[in-house]
Structure 1
């Protein structure tokens, strides 16, 4: 069982050169105490004690409702004690009727089946200056891997922590492997031979802001602990739990033969089976007890026609093995995290498939990804292959150059009354084609004209339009989408007001956004690591001007060169039309821009932003 805190880091839009300490924050953690007793079979009982000092009524109202989520099939949570302590020392206890168990909050239209619930305690008469105190008891009744336990916690640097203590006690002969960044560990042995691990942490001065592109478990103060001997042991033990689910049955063998009929090429057989699962098994998140970690049987997934990532991977593994093709489930994290702790802790949130014959990874949940292509956020990530022999952590190779390409072509006409109409075509390959198909499925789920109008509004262009060709399904390596649009009149454009070139029905990121880092994260410090990738982005915007007008002047051409990228733009005015061509080519061989590489990108991104925001104005021709 892994215990995690979900952290949200809210970044300001302001640009600043350093990380400033916050003034006295509205919320202060006076005490954070976790005491966990691990049993021989991997079950555990823990007590968590929290004390929050609230500085004003607004934060008091927000914090007065304390909630803890749990999956009732494998764990239980109960409130031991709760009260509001007034400045004069009076304690007002939580009334029994103010403690309720209810379904965990979620998004109603998310395809999710879950047994997760939450227990909510409402602290009475909370106001600024009070201390809000709760004590919870947590019981793990069914560990994922019998006999094993793992734990991880991170402490956001924007929260002041006056006193943190985490203590885990394990049976004799079942020591923990530990790792800590910030918290200090003391180890001891009880008189009965039990192992006692006690972490202390204190950070009373919080940062006002802590902008980041990576997940907290890559950068925040944190600790990890696990009874697993090492990652190969984790891989082997987890494989023992999930392997029976991928058993090859006669029905699965028959299906695999039908899908691959007509070809003896093993890689082509693998592609056909991948395509079949991608097209015929709908993704639905399932979190029911140990279903959060253990897949359903491959045959039951086939019966239902839906499943989550581990269900789809299990079915694909079974079908591949039915044709004699080696395949393994692989654990990965989709969050922006690029490290694994040394102690084996279940930080993964996604399952894909590995085909060792071709050193190839496949993700059937990716929404139309070509065989052998992954979503961008999976490249360069650490992974763990789940095998009976046990496997050490590996890493997916970064995206090679020229695999991911996108091209936007928008051709528009500005009429004398200020109306703008035109067409847009988006072409994509590699991981960008996956993104285009995801957008395409959202489009076809709507009325075409409504979808176009909504997309224009998203891009701050009011108007109407229609998508005439949409890439939504399939796993082909290239795809394109097209549409036409008409913007509301802009008579000021004809009269000399400045404006940006209309992009029309743009569906993917702007040129310059992503390959060398996020274009619009103005708040990130220059040395803060960011995900990056190799790829090519291009856009060509053309605007035919009304007769008798011309640009007063064209923006300057821009060229921004780096050791692993080149951005350039070129403006022209010919035959009555203004054109701008922009391109960014990244050849990075790393999935993370950090150190000197990040500093280089950070210097380039503002220049790219300025060019993207370049404006033109028109003048009359005498």
Structure 2
């Protein structure tokens, strides 16, 4: 399946009523010939406001702490932007930063300046009780309201964030992109570091370097960017993101990514030493288990199911795990806390483990310049089993990984210089088999039964979704599902116990739906009840305009089989059924067979998407789209009766 991986909606009783199939937003672009024929890119629509000026500077100290200064000027072009322009919020970590707003005013269209009065400022802080420190976040927010803003005015704010201590000792790194499809009047970026700190930098796209020199004991780098005639964004697929593809810049005192892993590990690994409490807990969880894999599985499942996610935005908490006692006392933690506790539990049972840093977003190739923000998630690696596990991701069986971290480069804390990667998800494991049995009544009412068997990622995500459904809600599931389509129904729903962390799942639904079908009438043969991986989703890219993909995209394959038995009453006559079909392309295939026996239609169709993710090339995506276009007509063909 192309562009997006198998992805389920969050299922609740109400969500089931409007259940949708897996999202697959394939990403078409202009054909190569059309692109060549275009004299210039289509201009972007005028925005209601535009950035006239944005000046950013970082003044870095020898210990890695820095002062960040930002000045911005936003001009209001249309009335809808007034409300947004009037409000500005600045957030920062109160324990390691202080804020100074040096200027804030409205520049009227006639040149007058109207300063923001002190009464228009509001400061919100996160604090603990009775002088105690906050548990989750020390983020403070200063909000200000600009006075007298009208169309044609410009709001200006200038502020400093003064760092008290660095995230990593004697290290500084920053990376940012700007949109090539938005107006940018005057962007300037300046980085001023001690000449004694080694550094490297790079610009991307139309970003220009205008200075790179040493003055005395300081090294100064400056970049500029301007985009007065932004082009319309024609790219529809951002499931794979490369920072080098967009205007921007990167600066780092890290020589390589290994230094980032080592810097993280220097403060994180000591917190992974098992305490007496952790040793006792590990013995209880793994009692009776001898095999290393079984021990690791039990400890992983305990952390995954018992420690809830809670962010850590308190100063250095962004890069330093909490203490084990806090995590166990409160049964909460962020990704670093999950990984650190699991490592400690594993160590208590003599199972070797370490931590690894990864990008959990849409970055599949780390930028050339090593920047700490490029890795935003922590998981564990078990060398003895050669296995990556992510206890932060809930509902994932031991030995599997969530889609967001599969097939990506990782920074191993135990071997910082090692080039390593998580394994991609196996397309062959993603399977769905759905059997539907329908009996149509003379008035168009339908009695039916649907049985669904899942394996791999769709099973994992379905289990995770159904865990949130309460027992009493599942009893109303059928009614609510069909009510969403304006139909009256009753029935029952059964499933395997969804609580276990497994990669297989089965569920079934029986229903009676009043006057569901028109008589006489027609309908395409398609699922009548929720299923996460219907055949049609594998062909959805065919519905886009005659186009090619302009970028590579996230993808994952799989197999979906649908079997139907539809029985009509003797008083009705089936006058047309969809034709049999077969299509193949580079390992992917579609086969459909429709057999009419009297008033009973038996249908079977199977689609196999052989795409090997997590990233598919432009050429592959184009080819698969052409395959899907040949499949789609058969899926749309209707069963006609009277």
TM norm structure 2: 0.84
Q: Tell me if the contact between 2:27 and 2:549 (Cα under 8 Å) persists in the aligned partners.
A: no
Q: Tell me if the contact between 1:75 and 1:140 (Cα under 8 Å) persists in the aligned partners.
A: yes
Q: Tell me if the contact between 2:273 and 2:347 (Cα under 8 Å) persists in the aligned partners.
A: no
Which residue does the alignment assign to 2:588?
565
Alpha-carbon deviation of 1:166? 0.8
Query: Which of 345, 353, 371 is the aligned partner of 1:327?
Result: 353
Query: Which of 140, 161, 181 is the aligned partner of 1:158?
Result: 181
Assess, with a 3 A threshold, how the Cα gap between structure 1 residues 586 and 156 changes in structure 2: closer, same or farther. Answer: same
Distance 1:21 1:383 in 2: 39
Query: Higher mean Cα deviation, 242-251 or 79-88?
Result: 79-88
Query: Which of 241, 246, 249 is the aligned partner of 2:267?
Result: 241
Query: Which of 31, 39, 43 is the aligned partner of 2:61?
Result: 39
Q: Tell me if the contact between 1:512 and 1:567 (Cα under 8 Å) persists in the aligned partners.
A: no
Alpha-carbon deviation of 1:338? 0.9
Q: Tell me if the contact between 1:169 and 1:197 (Cα under 8 Å) persists in the aligned partners.
A: yes
Alpha-carbon deviation of 1:168? 0.8
Assess, with a 3 A threshold, how the Cα gap between structure 1 residues 587 and 13 changes in structure 2: closer, same or farther. Answer: closer
Distance 1:335 1:610 in 2: 35
Please state if 1:132 is matched with 2:155: yes
Q: Tell me if the contact between 1:42 and 1:148 (Cα under 8 Å) persists in the aligned partners.
A: yes
Distance 1:103 1:455 in 2: 44
Distance 2:582 2:100 in 1: 61
Distance 1:225 1:189 in 2: 14
Query: Which of 37, 41, 66 is the aligned partner of 2:88?
Result: 66
Distance 1:86 1:163 in 2: 19
Q: Tell me if the contact between 1:27 and 1:53 (Cα under 8 Å) persists in the aligned partners.
A: yes
Query: Which of 253, 256, 276 is the aligned partner of 2:302?
Result: 276
Which residue does the alignment assign to 1:537?
560
Alpha-carbon deviation of 1:446? 6.5
Please state if 1:370 is matched with 2:392: no
Which residue does the alignment assign to 2:38?
none
Distance 2:365 2:523 in 1: 44
Distance 1:524 1:318 in 2: 52
Q: Deviations over 1:27-66 (max 9, x none)?
A: 3222221011011122111111112222211123223222
Which residue does the alignment assign to 1:476?
502
Please state if 1:295 is matched with 2:350: no
Alpha-carbon deviation of 1:398? 2.1
Query: Higher mean Cα deviation, 225-234 or 531-540?
Result: 531-540
Alpha-carbon deviation of 1:464? 5.2
Alpha-carbon deviation of 1:501? 3.6
Assess, with a 3 A threshold, how the Cα gap between structure 1 residues 216 and 86 changes in structure 2: closer, same or farther. Answer: farther
Question: Which SS does the other structure have where 2:361 is aligned?
Answer: coil
Q: Superposed, which structure 2 residues align to 1:333-352 within 5 Å? A: 333-345=359-371, 346-352=373-379
Please state if 1:147 is matched with 2:152: no
Query: Which of 371, 379, 383 is the aligned partner of 2:406?
Result: 379
Distance 2:335 2:580 in 1: 46
Please state if 1:116 is matched with 2:143: no
Distance 1:358 1:568 in 2: 39
Q: Superposed, which structure 2 residues align to 1:193-212 within 5 Å? A: 193-209=217-233, 210-212=235-237
Query: Higher mean Cα deviation, 162-171 or 332-341?
Result: 332-341
Distance 2:331 2:498 in 1: 19
Q: Tell me if the contact between 1:501 and 1:543 (Cα under 8 Å) persists in the aligned partners.
A: no
Distance 1:545 1:364 in 2: 50
Alpha-carbon deviation of 1:550? 3.9
Alpha-carbon deviation of 1:243? 0.8
Question: Which sections of structure 2, spanning at least 5 residues, go unmatched?
Answer: 1-24, 36-40, 127-134
Please state if 1:49 is matched with 2:74: no
Alpha-carbon deviation of 1:541? 4.1
Query: Higher mean Cα deviation, 589-598 or 32-41?
Result: 589-598
Which residue does the alignment assign to 1:109?
none
Distance 1:116 1:466 in 2: 48
Which residue does the alignment assign to 1:180?
203
Distance 1:127 1:327 in 2: 59
Distance 1:286 1:522 in 2: 45
Please state if 1:214 is matched with 2:236: no
Alpha-carbon deviation of 1:151? 0.9
Question: Which SS does the other structure have where 1:318 is aligned?
Answer: helix
Q: Deviations over 1:63-121 (max 9, x none)?
A: 322223333233344432222223222222222222223379xxxxxxx9444343222
Q: Tell me if the contact between 2:561 and 2:605 (Cα under 8 Å) persists in the aligned partners.
A: yes
Alpha-carbon deviation of 1:143? 2.7
Question: Which SS does the other structure have where 2:384 is aligned?
Answer: helix
Assess, with a 3 A threshold, how the Cα gap between structure 1 residues 101 and 325 changes in structure 2: closer, same or farther. Answer: same
Alpha-carbon deviation of 1:502? 5.2
Which residue does the alignment assign to 1:495?
520
Distance 1:615 1:246 in 2: 61
Question: Which SS does the other structure have where 2:152 is aligned?
Answer: coil
Query: Higher mean Cα deviation, 12-21 or 34-43?
Result: 12-21
Assess, with a 3 A threshold, how the Cα gap between structure 1 residues 489 and 253 changes in structure 2: closer, same or farther. Answer: same
Distance 1:518 1:228 in 2: 42
Distance 2:78 2:67 in 1: 35
Question: Which sections of structure 1, spanning at least 5 residues, go unmatched?
Answer: 1-10, 105-111
Higher RCO (CA < 8 A, seq sep 6+): 2
Question: Which SS does the other structure have where 2:454 is aligned?
Answer: strand
Which residue does the alignment assign to 2:467?
441
Query: Which of 361, 370, 376 is the aligned partner of 2:388?
Result: 361
Please state if 1:29 is matched with 2:51: yes
Distance 1:457 1:75 in 2: 53
Alpha-carbon deviation of 1:230? 1.2
